[in-house]
Every structure is written in structure tokens, then in C-alpha cells.
Amino acid sequence: MFFFSFTTILAYYYIAETNVAYLRRTLKLPDFTFLLKIVLIAAAFYGTVKTANLAWGLGDVGVGLMAWLNIVGILLIFFMGKPAIKALKDYEQQRKTKPESYSFDPVKLGIKKATFWENRLEKEKAKK
């Protein structure tokens, strides 16, 4: 039971710290890592002195909250620009023409901030 709880706490902390780092970087928020550590330590201590039902209930609430936040994020991404739908339609068009190799050009599709794919396409064009 110790190793299960220990690794679960480590996994949840890693997920939370990664999310905080992402939000800090993209939204220019202050660093909440120290606050996150305090909350995690307090939750771990609180879970040890209270009944197991309360600890499992709080865990269920936390996992449910993460799931709903991810669903909202996916819906926002889907309705804001629909980059996945644009890429799928482009792939289907290319598939009808039966090319030797498929290509992905985010600029042609109007997908913004896809620098990885733009750089990769430039490298492929430079090789030819």
C-alpha cells in the first residue's frame, strides 16, 4: 500500500507541476510551484489522519476535475480553429490523388503556430 500511494502522489505531483509550468510559460503567470508543493504536502498529511473514504473521495474529485478541464480544453481547441479537421480533410484530398508520399503544410491550411511542421517542411524542401 505504501508503494502504491507513494507512486500515485509522485505521478499526480508531476502532472500538476507540468501543468503549472505550462500555464506559467504560456499565460505569463507567476510561479505557483511552491504553493503546489504546500498543497500536496497538506493533502498527503490530511489523507493520513482522516478516514480512507475521505481520501478516496478527494482523489475522485481531483481526477474528475482533471478530466472535465481536459474536455473543456479539447472543445475550446476544436471550436477555435479546427486544426485537426483541416489536417484530416487535407489528408483525405491527398489520399484521393494517391501520391508517393504525403505532405503536411500548415501554412497552406491556415494553421498558425505550427513552427515544428513549418521547419520540417522547409528542411524537406531544402533537401530536394
pLDDT given for residue 81 in this prediction = 67
Output the CA torsion sign for 23, 28, 33, 35.
negative
pLDDT > 70 in the chain, percent: 98
- Under the banding of pLDDT at 50, 70 and 90, the label for residue 74 is confident
For 107-120, write each residue's pLDDT tens digit. Answer: 888 888 888 988 98
Find the angle CA(39)-CA(41)-CA(46) to the nearest 5 degrees.
90
User: Which residues touch 9 (CB under 8 Å, ≥6 apart)?
Assistant: 40, 44
With contact defined as beta carbons under 8 Å apart, do 47 and 55 qualify? yes
Our measurement of the distance from residue 73's CA atom to the centroid of its chain's CA atoms, rounded to an integer in Å, reads 9
For 41-68, write each residue's pLDDT tens digit. Answer: 888 888 788 778 877 887 899 889 989 9
Domain ranges for the chain? 2-80, 83-127
Residue 97 has pLDDT above 70, yes or no: yes
